[in-house]
Structure 1
Amino acid sequence: MTMTENGPSVVDRDEFTVRRTITIAAPPEKVWAAITEVEHIARWFPQAAVLDGVAVGAGGLFSFDGYGDVPVQIEELDPPRMIAYRWGGASSLDPVRVDVENSTVFRFTLEPVATGTRLTVVESGFDALSDPAGSMESNRTGWDSELDELVAYLEGGS
């Protein structure tokens, strides 16, 4: 079985966003589970994931090899079509809460299509960071590899 081929992420330097749209040969409910349930998230994105629920305001930590723990918080939720996570630096007051002044938001939007699901991720807010251009480029390559892992996870029969 061959994996679905998808184009790379794109940086918009004027809007301070990174965007990637992919098609996954899996139904929307399977994709939704993969982006909202920690046992699935940890199979393709961070090495470990903890969330205290799937609701606006719910928080947690995504742990990445080489980067450590990254606090996350759900900002928006419209199941099973859209979820937005804020992530970034830890708050100086609470190391497991996101510092809103030093973070970005990535929004997953799902759309059913004939071949499965069209998933768009848009990460925004890079203008709030100390190195917007470097952060956008780093996250552009990150979304390329992570979303390719998501396709492999969902299409690989796991």
Structure 2
Amino acid sequence: MASTTGRNASVVDEGAFRVTRSIDIAAPVPKVWRAVTDPELLSRWFGRTVLLGDGAGAHGTMSFEGYGAIPIRVEAIDPERSVTYRWNNDDALGMLPAQVDEASSTVFTFTLAAQGEGTRLTVVESGFERTSDPIANLESHRRGWDFELDKLVALIEGER
């Protein structure tokens, strides 16, 4: 499978209720790390991100046109290796709660690994079994990760 940039597309594992995508980015780990952890940079390629606090426990919102402000929280952070976010991004819900709802939220982790002078970035999102329509949400987020990570690559590689 190929996405719009010709890179690996996201893969759905319905049995594990998980979406995964790995891509190689022609940029060093520190640059990619900033793009997946700094709210200002996240806002340039993903959703408009506002986080209060630093590190694990930081919380706030990520806003997308047509979806409003989605509650998000940093669950875990291993500098320049991985960062895990929990968010309420159930596509079938109309009203979003003001804070992350443990009962219906999903978790996504960005893992970074040096690949020569570049970076292998892998995102894994799980927890879809807790959403209102797991199969539809898996497919929606598969498409979303293709779109969003293609924007990340364009941003980072366009800045060289």
TM-score when normalising by structure 1: 0.91
**Within 2, Cα distance between the matches of 1:15 and 1:101?**
17
- Aligned mates of 1:42, 1:24 — CA distance in 2: 19
- Does the 8 Å contact 2:5/2:150 carry over to 1? no
Structure in which a larger fraction of residues adopt strand: 1
Work out whether residues 4 and 23 of structure 1, in 8 Å CA contact, stay in contact via their aligned partners in 2.
no
- Once residues 43 and 72 of structure 1 are traced to their aligned partners in structure 2, the CA distance between those partners, rounded to angstroms, is 17
The letter of the residue matching 2:10 is: S
Question: 2:93 matched to which residue of 1?
Answer: none
Distance 1:132 1:37, change over 3 A: same
* 1:114 Cα deviation from its structure 2 partner: 1.1
- The residue number in structure 1 matching 2:148 is 146
Deviation string 1:50-90 (CA, Å, 9 cap, x unpaired) is 00133111101001001110000011110110000000169
Counterpart AA for 1:25: A
Task: Give the letter aligned to residue 65 of structure 1.
Answer: E
Distance in 1 separating the partners of 2:17 and 2:144: 16
Identity within the alignment, %: 52
**Where does structure 1 lack aligned partners over 5 or more consecutive residues?**
none
Distance 1:51 1:99, change over 3 A: same
Distance in 1 (CA, whole Å) between partners of 2:113 and 2:147 is 21
1:140 CA displacement: 0.2
Residue 126 of structure 1 aligns with which residue? 128
Displacement of 1:5 in angstroms is 3.7
SS of the residue 2:32 aligns to? helix
**Mapping of 1:1-150 within 5 angstroms?**
5-46=6-47, 48-88=48-88, 95-150=97-152
Runs of 5+ in structure 2 lacking a partner?
Answer: 91-95
Q: How many residues matched? A: 152
Tell me the SS of whatever aligns to 1:34: helix
Deviations 1:105-154 (A, max 9, x none): 00000000114000000000001111000000000000000000000000
Whole-Å separation in 2 of the counterparts to 1:39 and 1:156: 17
**Distance in 2 between the 1:143 and 1:51 partners?**
21
* TM-score normalised over the length of structure 2: 0.90
Distance 1:115 1:6, change over 3 A: farther
User: What is the root-mean-square deviation in Å for CA atoms of aligned residues?
Assistant: 1.9
Counterparts of 2:144 and 2:5, CA distance in 1? 18
Q: Tell me if structure 2 keeps the 8 A contact 1:36–1:54.
A: no
Answer yes or no: is the 8 Å Cα contact 1:60–1:96 preserved in 2: no
